[in-house]
Amino acid sequence: MLFAKGIGALVVTLAVFTLFSLVFPKGDKAMGGLANAAVASFLVEAILKHILGDFAGIGFFYEIGNLAGSYSGSASAILVGLALGMDPIFAVVGGMVCASFGILPGFIAAYVMFFVLQITRYFPNGTDKIFGSLISGAGYYLIARTIAPYITDVIALVGSAITAATMQSPVVMGFLLGGIIKVVCTSPLSSMALTAMLQLKGLPMGIACIACFGGSFTNGMIFHKLRFGDKGNLIAVMLEPLTQAEIVTKNPLPIYVSNFLGGGLSGLGAAILGIICDAPGTASPIPGMLAPFAFNAPGKVVIALAAAAVCGSFAGWLVGSLFQKAGYKQVK
């Protein structure tokens, strides 16, 4: 039952995530802003606070990282607004009033206020900035304060279901969670935004980090085997899959199949080794490689990364070879 609840919660969340990105006006741009907010807050927190602060013992970096992680609501309020095309003044005002809220309330407030603030175009020139700033501050805060308790409850429920399922069946969940997260990482969606939204921590987040790292080798191998693009495309897809969204969306079958296998095998290794990560929102190849060092013995992380690189490369080679033999032709 725990396993079913965990996978079910993840699938439902992913479905909502996908629906928002594809159907809602400017949904994809809003999600891009949320991913950037995860980098600006949680990634900085993971590296500066936990690695250079806790691990290396440098108090200066600990303080900076702690501040960055504390203002995830402000980061999402500002960056989502800017991604949607909001006036920078309005976005910054919204970010300031969302300082005490989490990343998701800031995200929702920014998305709603972008459309509300369209009324400022009807204000007399010169007064639009003044009234727009006042409306932005009041609107952002009202929305974030109203929804924050409900968002916290829902996200806690989903996150706890995934965590409980992972602890109950770490091997099975390691493979399935790793595979699903890596597919999301390579799709036009964002695994950073998804894991930040769910506030994943502990073993599930560790699985997500290692899966994203290992899956980057899967992408490199599948691009090489099936001759997707040139060397520049190959390097880019390994560093950040979203940069190659055009190739990915035109050739989804071999890429997503290989990613699920590569991410799953990498996640399986992370689950067996017990890799944990308490920095949500770092599910991407480079952040996923760095963040686990803050929460695990370095030697264990190196072993997990090496195993993920081997597993990811094998998955890309295997699926690429099968599609080669089947005579797959790249869609351009």
Spell out the per-residue pLDDT of the chain, length 332, in tens: 666 776 777 777 777 777 887 788 998 888 888 878 877 887 788 788 877 887 788 999 999 988 988 898 999 999 999 999 999 999 999 999 999 998 889 999 999 999 999 999 888 887 888 999 999 999 999 999 999 888 777 777 777 778 777 788 888 888 988 988 888 888 766 777 778 777 788 999 999 999 999 999 999 999 999 888 888 888 988 987 877 777 887 888 888 899 999 999 999 999 999 999 988 878 888 888 988 998 899 999 999 999 999 999 999 999 999 998 988 887 77
Report the pLDDT value the prediction gives residue 73, as an integer from 0 to 100.
92
The 10 Å Cβ neighbour count of residue 94 is 31
Report the pLDDT value the prediction gives residue 2, as an integer from 0 to 100.
64
- Domain positions in the chain: 1-168, 169-326
20 class by beta-carbon count within 10 Å (0-12 exposed, 13-18 middle, 19+ buried): middle
Coil, strand, or helix at residue 290? helix
Report the pLDDT value the prediction gives residue 51, as an integer from 0 to 100.
78
Which backbone phi and psi does 277 adopt, to 5 degrees?
Answer: -155, 125
Q: Where are the alpha helices (DSSP H) in the chain?
A: 2-23, 27-38, 44, 59-70, 72-84, 88-97, 103-116, 128-168, 170-186, 191-198, 203-225, 231-239, 245-250, 252-273, 285-290, 298-325
Report the pLDDT value the prediction gives residue 74, as an integer from 0 to 100.
95
Which backbone phi and psi does 276 adopt, to 5 degrees?
Answer: -115, 160
Report the pLDDT value the prediction gives residue 329, as an integer from 0 to 100.
82
| CA-wise closest residue to 258 among 189, 207, 324, 304 | 324
| CA-wise closest residue to 280 among 54, 77, 45, 3 | 45
Report the pLDDT value the prediction gives residue 173, as an integer from 0 to 100.
85
pTM above 0.85, yes or no: no
